[in-house]
Structure 1
Amino acid sequence: MLDFLRLRVLDAVARHGSVTAAARELHYSQPSVSHHLARLEAETGARLVQRTGRGIRLTEAGRLLADRAAEILGRVEAAAGELAAHTGLRAGRVRLAAFPSALGSFVPAAAARLARDHPGVEVRLVDAEPPEALAMLRAGQVDVAVTFRHTVLPATDEGVRLTPLLADPGHLVVPAPGTPAQGSSTGRRTGNARHVGAAPEAPAVQKTRTAAPITQKSQTAGGTPGTRAGDGAYDGPPGGLAAYRESRWIVGCERCRAQAFALCAEAGFTPSVAFITDDYVAVQAMVAAGLGVALLPELALTAHRRPDVATYRIPGATRAIFAATYGEPPDPPATTALLAALTTATTR
């Protein structure tokens, strides 16, 4: 194995054609340079330099080795520069997988903050539900996965490190009062009127209010049933979920609908499923049209909120949102910076 420092000496001698100049550049003494050249000749078994009066020139073998030494030194210096840029966040790449309502709410703000603070770091975003995102994380296809866990579901994140981001309350979504869907025949029968479960009459401003950004205050369920929450929702529908036992329900995939089914079971009934979709825009359109009621997370209402639907915050329907990473700590600098940006974007 050739000694790296001796290759540096040979490179300096080749460029300057002088032991004195090479010693000056390397901050070595002239005898030290001559010693390194002699040792390198012993290692290679070839004559590398030939003295000519006051100067020195390379032999054919010396020129061949010097050319390769220059290539090696160039690559090492390039690698050192790239590593310094990476650790200093002047360059790099970080990949994030997140579910749709996260991509439609806080993830863009986090990505924009990272790009602003570290413009040399490239951020790549992938749309993926938690199971797919975690699989991509374990396979090394992404660096961070934004995922969620319902309180009624078992933990499935063994081997993955989780950074808590926020608690995302669930909301019952119904047609807004005063809309045509309030009298739809798809709902339950109460007295002489048929309803899909419209919200109680609210001030006129409620009809046009959209969900406000998630705040720490709005991340916990509570309040008095029938009163407006800070984001324009109502906490706890009168009569609870049991009041919607005869309504038709719009639910999501098997994983997401498990929470709705569990909450309805606690209220003493099994929901009658009319439609199945994970598209929260489509869910609100169906509710507004009077096709049923639904349970949506607050993030979905933050990303998109129709003025012709009303919402009740449902105690116990909260899901926990995490940023997941994989492997032994510490995380790479770009990953750590992205986690910090996600935390900032969800703490307002």
Structure 2
Amino acid sequence: MTFDVRRMLLLAEVARHGSITGAATALNYTPSAVSQQVSRLEAEAGQPLLERHARGITLTEAGRGLLTHAERIDRELRAARSDLDELAGLRAGSLRLGTFPTVAASFLPLVVREFRRRYPAVELVVRSSRHAGLLDMLDSREVELSLLWDYEWQRLPGDNLDITHVLDDPTTLIVGASHRLAGRESTRFAELAGEQWIVRADHPVAEVLTRSCREAGFEPAIAYRAHDYQEAQAMAAVGLGIALAPRLALPGLREDVTTVALGPKAPARRILLASPRGQRPTPAAQALQALFTSTAAKLLSMPAPLDQAVRQYV
């Protein structure tokens, strides 16, 4: 036996108002329309649900039994609407975000801090991984959004992703405090042909170095292969060589090293925010996307280089 839920809720209105006319007035229906729907519900039930008399109506035993279920359904539907309203108003819910280490140590905390201040009731879960791992998490829906990056020569394929360009993260030069270029505002790769280099092992910045040096007409001489940017800074500080790094990879710059800009033609990685293509964003995801955009705009409007702007951000 199948019941039309809307007719069951209509029966509850009739019982609540004590008459078909009262229910019709409350619902802005005609009395004949309400009476017709109740008759159809009785046909579904296979027995009378109302007893009609001059002073109104009373429910039959079957009507009272069905009313109990109708009232329970009404409560559940109201609770469902309340839950959805909470989610839409960002007063409940959760959001799963993917990120990678260098942006998680610099740009991302600025956004997370503001998101948690504005929407304290939304649970934000952040997962950090390398590039391939983040793509896998997006594909499996383990995360709803993920920060990613790419370079001009290897753009992120957008076949299965909706991609938002958040900001550009320029490459900068790291030198020791006593290096000949320390104190310079900028330099060009052509001036670096005789230098020894510290490079991240098996890392995209190694390709940035190779491409940039070859474009300037020389091959880089590698003195040390580091496993993170703190290690690269330490080796640069003692004069073993110089290194390249994206600006957002340097939130904690050592006091015995400095950075030198590489000019407007320096390679820059794009910082991207991606979601699975065709996935409708939740209100929480939309709010987070807006915060990434506004925070990036504020950083880029500051006169300091990006890594310094992150440290100065309020």
Which category of TM-score, normalised to the shorter sequence, fits these structures? 0.7 to 0.9
* Alpha-carbon spacing, 1:38–1:265, altered in 2? closer, same or farther (3 Å): same
Q: Check whether the contact 1:173–1:284 (CA below 8 A) recurs between aligned residues.
A: yes
Q: RCO greater where, 1 or 2, for CA within 8 Å and sep 6 or more?
A: 1
Per-residue deviation, residues 222-252 of structure 1 (Å, max 9, x unmatched): xxxxx42xxxxx3336x533121xx252314
Q: Check whether the contact 1:264–1:271 (CA below 8 A) recurs between aligned residues.
A: no
Secondary structure (helix, strand or coil) at the match of 1:240 reads helix
Residue 262 of structure 1 pairs with residue 214 of structure 2: no
**Number of equivalent positions:** 294
Distance across 2 between alignment mates of 1:300 and 1:32: 68
Residue 243 of structure 1 pairs with residue 243 of structure 2: no
Match for residue 252 of structure 2? 304
**Bigger mean CA offset, 318-327 vs 259-268:** 259-268
Match for residue 302 of structure 2? none
Distance across 1 between alignment mates of 2:167 and 2:69: 55
Secondary structure (helix, strand or coil) at the match of 1:316 reads coil
State how 1:18-97 maps to structure 2 within 5 Å.
19=20, 22-23=23-24, 25-28=26-29, 32-50=33-51, 54=55, 56-97=57-98
Paired letter, 1:240: E
Secondary structure (helix, strand or coil) at the match of 2:193 reads helix
Match for residue 134 of structure 1? 135
**Bigger mean CA offset, 113-122 vs 337-346:** 113-122
Q: Check whether the contact 1:47–1:59 (CA below 8 A) recurs between aligned residues.
A: yes
Distance across 1 between alignment mates of 2:70 and 2:41: 12
Q: Check whether the contact 1:250–1:292 (CA below 8 A) recurs between aligned residues.
A: no
Match for residue 343 of structure 1? 293
Residue 152 of structure 1 pairs with residue 153 of structure 2: yes
TM-score, normalised with respect to structure 2: 0.80
Per-residue deviation, residues 25-82 of structure 1 (Å, max 9, x unmatched): 4455555544432221112212323458846443443233222222222222222233
Match for residue 12 of structure 2? 11
Runs of 5+ consecutive residues of structure 2 not aligned to the other structure: 299-314
Q: Check whether the contact 1:153–1:259 (CA below 8 A) recurs between aligned residues.
A: no
**Bigger mean CA offset, 326-335 vs 51-60:** 51-60
State how 1:103-142 maps to structure 2 within 5 Å.
103-142=104-143
Per-residue deviation, residues 100-122 of structure 1 (Å, max 9, x unmatched): 22122222222233333444433
Shift of 1:273: 5.3
1:275 aligned to which of 219, 225, 229: 225
Distance across 2 between alignment mates of 1:306 and 1:106: 18
Paired letter, 1:259: V
- RMSD (Å), alpha carbons: 2.9
Distance across 1 between alignment mates of 2:277 and 2:226: 36
Match for residue 283 of structure 2? 333
TM-score, normalised with respect to structure 1: 0.73
Distance across 1 between alignment mates of 2:181 and 2:203: 31
Q: Check whether the contact 2:166–2:293 (CA below 8 A) recurs between aligned residues.
A: yes
Shift of 1:17: 5.4
* Alpha-carbon spacing, 1:50–1:273, altered in 2? closer, same or farther (3 Å): farther
Distance across 1 between alignment mates of 2:20 and 2:159: 61
Runs of 5+ consecutive residues of structure 1 not aligned to the other structure: 178-197, 203-226, 229-233
Q: Check whether the contact 1:107–1:345 (CA below 8 A) recurs between aligned residues.
A: no
